[in-house]
Amino acid sequence: MKTLCTLLLAAGTLATAAAQTALVGDTVYTMAGAPLKPGIVLIRDGKIEAVGPAATLKVPDGYKVIRAAVVTPGLIDAHATVGLSGLLNQPHDQDMLEKSAAMQPELRALDAYNARDPLVTHLRSFGITTVNTGHSPGALISGQTMIVKTLGRTADEDVVNPAAMTSVTFGRDGLVAATTGTRGADAIAAGYKSPGTRAKAVALLRSELIKAQEYARKREAKDEAKRSGRDLRLEVLLRAFDGSQPLLVTAHRQQDILDALRVAREFNLRIVLDGCADAPLVLPEIKASGFPVILHPTMKRSNEDAENLSLETAAKLKAAGIPFALQSSYESYVPKTRVVLFEAAIAAANGLGFDGALASITLDAAKLLGIADRTGSLEPGKDADLALYDGDPFEYTSHCIGTVINGQVFADGPH
């Protein structure tokens, strides 16, 4: 069998894919039914044209054929900072956290995202085709995330959803100790102002949400003279009320998770829980809320608020019937990003299993992010986003030999 690398340009380059391409896999995981062994995926003009077993689905004349041992949907990183936190780890490529104020919901990842940062290519080289990326935890409200394909063109060309979620941080990562001026996890620049206790943080968020409600009422006033001027901060928060842009609440401690659920009930908000190291301690409460979880990276360091994290938490969420996806999250050290392929592999080995692990970075992630109509599974009409491997994707000796995004084939080099 020819390998993908023999069919593409040199490693690290983009192959200009033909308008019609056939991917032939010894095993094709469609996430829309049983695996096909072997299977074929036909691509036409950037979309999936047909999917089926090789015994019945034939490759039409004129299609470029690419073969791989394993074909999966393109992988999805449900929460990252890639494109804002860059490879060099220098001030000029670190835009993931604005330190001038505690609450800045008006900040947009779209305005800072660098589609051509090497970390974007790095993730794509492992089969990751879509990321929900943006401002990192570290402020009470740090900004808005965006969903973007890892094509590496420009933010405007690659974006799927320019304003996906609004990042909120409860717990030590969102606080500054009143007496020392430092915060948990990573100390930040002197002069950064933020709440010093959990109660203060929640109170400040409540106050901002009340301001948003009052702003909405004033904007709707019949008397034009009584209408308030536009306020970008409050306009963003209003989207959490109508569900169009949920709050992504990073909370690891059980009391912070419960705080997030309490505020959501009080204001009838749509939220997504993020991190959740203590999730096993409050599984019934999370389940009853109906809110999904973007779980911390399986191999995240267990310290500070996340001291109770476990390699088995993903399996426990699955067993409890709580919708969840995995993430790379934010790391303060080089290379500044994790790879969800590896995080899922470890979760698979610790109770989640192969099927659950693959779903957590494909279809389940797509559903959570609201993009399942475009990606997450291999079905006709969806975007042609696929990952190609020379063996079991979760086996450490396997390599990603190619990635397909919108029908374009990338050979970024085997790992």
Q: b/e per residue, 30-63, with b = 16+ CB within 10 A?
A: bbeeebbebbbbbbbebebbebbebeebebeeeb
Distance CA(360)–CA(367), nearest Å, equals: 10
* pLDDT for the residue numbered 292: 98
* pLDDT for the residue numbered 34: 96
Please name the residues in contact with 136: beta carbons below 8 A apart, sequence gap of 6 or more. Answer: 81, 84, 85, 96, 97, 142, 167, 330
49-53, 101-105, 309-313: the lowest-pLDDT one: 101-105
Two tokens, residue 307: 């001291």
Backbone angles phi, psi at 65, to 5 degrees: -100, 130
Distance CA(304)–CA(107), nearest Å, equals: 27
Residues of the chain by 3-state class (helix, strand, coil), percent to 5: 30, 25, 45
Q: Do 61 and 308 contact (CB within 8 A), yes or no?
A: no
> How many CB atoms sit inside 10 A of residue 211's CB?
14
pLDDT tops 80 at residue 386: yes
Residue range 206-233: average pLDDT? 83
In the 8-state DSSP scheme, what is residue 94?
B
Q: State the alpha helices, DSSP H only, in 72-197.
A: 118-124, 155-158
Query: What percent of the chain lies above the pLDDT cut of 90?
Result: 76
How much is the pTM? 0.91
5-9, 43-47, 274-278, 395-399: the lowest-pLDDT one: 5-9
Residue range 41-51: average pLDDT? 97
pLDDT tops 80 at residue 166: yes
Q: Which residue has the higher pLDDT, 278 or 415?
A: 278
| Summary mean pLDDT of the chain | 89
pLDDT tops 50 at residue 257: yes
Q: Do 24 and 40 contact (CB within 8 A), yes or no?
A: yes
* Terminal-residue alpha carbon distance, the chain: 19
Q: Which residue has the higher pLDDT, 332 or 57?
A: 57
Please name the residues in contact with 17: beta carbons below 8 A apart, sequence gap of 6 or more. Answer: 43, 64, 404, 407, 408, 409
Distance CA(243)–CA(370), nearest Å, equals: 11
pLDDT tops 60 at residue 215: yes
* pLDDT for the residue numbered 413: 62
User: What domains, with CATH codes, occur in the chain?
Assistant: 4-73+377-411 (2.30.40.10), 75-369 (3.20.20.140)
pLDDT band at 92 (very low <50, low <70, confident <90, very high): confident
* pLDDT for the residue numbered 13: 40
Q: Do 105 and 113 contact (CB within 8 A), yes or no?
A: no
Q: What is the pLDDT of residues 136-160, one digit of tens each?
A: 888 999 999 999 999 999 999 999 9
Q: Which residue has the higher pLDDT, 315 or 227?
A: 315
pLDDT tops 80 at residue 225: no
Residue range 35-40: average pLDDT? 97
Distance CA(256)–CA(319), nearest Å, equals: 23
Nearest CA among 112, 116, 28 for reference residue 73: 28
Q: What is the pLDDT of residues 334-359, one digit of tens each?
A: 567 899 999 999 999 999 999 999 99
Cis peptide before 393 (omega within 30 of 0): no
pLDDT tops 80 at residue 73: yes
Residue range 239-263: average pLDDT? 96
pLDDT tops 90 at residue 1: no
pLDDT tops 70 at residue 281: yes
81-95, 191-205, 342-356: the lowest-pLDDT one: 191-205
Element (H, E) at 403: strand 400-405
> How many CB atoms sit inside 10 A of residue 2's CB?
9
| DSSP letter string, 264-302 | HHHHT--EEEEE-TTGGGGHHHHHHHT--EEEPPTT---
1-15, 167-181, 185-199, 276-290: the lowest-pLDDT one: 1-15
